[in-house]
Chains A and B, each alone.
Chain A
Amino acid sequence: EAQVTQNPRYLITVTGKKLTVTCSQNMNHEYMSWYRQDPGLGLRQIYYSMNVEVTDKGDVPEGYKVSRKEKRNFPLILESPSPNQTSLYFCASSPAIPNYGYTFGSGTRLTVV
């Protein structure tokens, strides 16, 4: 089954403790992206990657890092999480030209206390 897999689904952590949210896709997509979803703000792009070793900032990149060492994986790293990063996070992928739109993962609910 074609899918984007995120882990973990739920995570509660403390301020300052580094964490990584993993994202993997099995569709050989070139493009991958991370979004955060907050009430009233919709989906805001954090980082995206057009291909292996090619990443760029989205609209809200502060406090996040990413890497794209393999085509299928695009982890999101929070080196020093803060409470304002409490959110619902989604990973998405698509071919270079999104002819069938984005395929999203099921989301990661992160709480930073």
Chain B
Amino acid sequence: QQQVKQSPQSLIVQKGGISIINCAYENTAFDYFPWYQQFPGKGPALLIAIRPDVSEKKEGRFTISFNKSAKQFSLHIMDSQPGDSATYFCAAGQYNFNKFYFGSGTKLNVKP
């Protein structure tokens, strides 16, 4: 059973556009929702993370929106740049238990 469902699988966005990646989870015990960014040939790296006590977190051009009642969260990349082209993974889990499940990944291609 997939703990975290991520969509879309791939995404093409024009430079300057908004990229949106969505994730959904089922386990209401999950209390930490990180996003990881992975460039080709590299391991994933933490991009931004949110706890469920807030509905939105913004860091530069990257924003997480969180809907606790719907058990959904999304990553918005504003003013997308070719350098943002990468695979993005959402994750969800229990922070104090250090147990997380990853989504299936979204390959983002930002066209110049």
Contact = CB atoms under 8 A, between A and B. Distances in A.
Nearest to A31: B98
Interface string B18-54: 0000000000000000101000011111100100000
A90 interface: yes
B49 A50 contact: no
A101 B93 CA distance: 12
Interface in B74-112: 89, 95-96, 98, 100-105
B94 to A, nearest CB: 11
Interface residues of B, number: 21
Given A31-B98, A102-B46, A43 B41 contact: no
Interface in A32-91: 35, 37, 40-45, 50, 59, 90
24 contacts: A4-B43, A31-B98, A37-B105, A42-B102, A42-B104, A43-B105, A44-B102, A45-B101, A92-B43, A94-B98, A97-B98, A98-B95, A98-B98, A101-B34, A101-B36, A101-B45, A101-B46, A101-B49, A102-B44, A102-B46, A106-B43, A107-B41, A107-B42, A107-B43
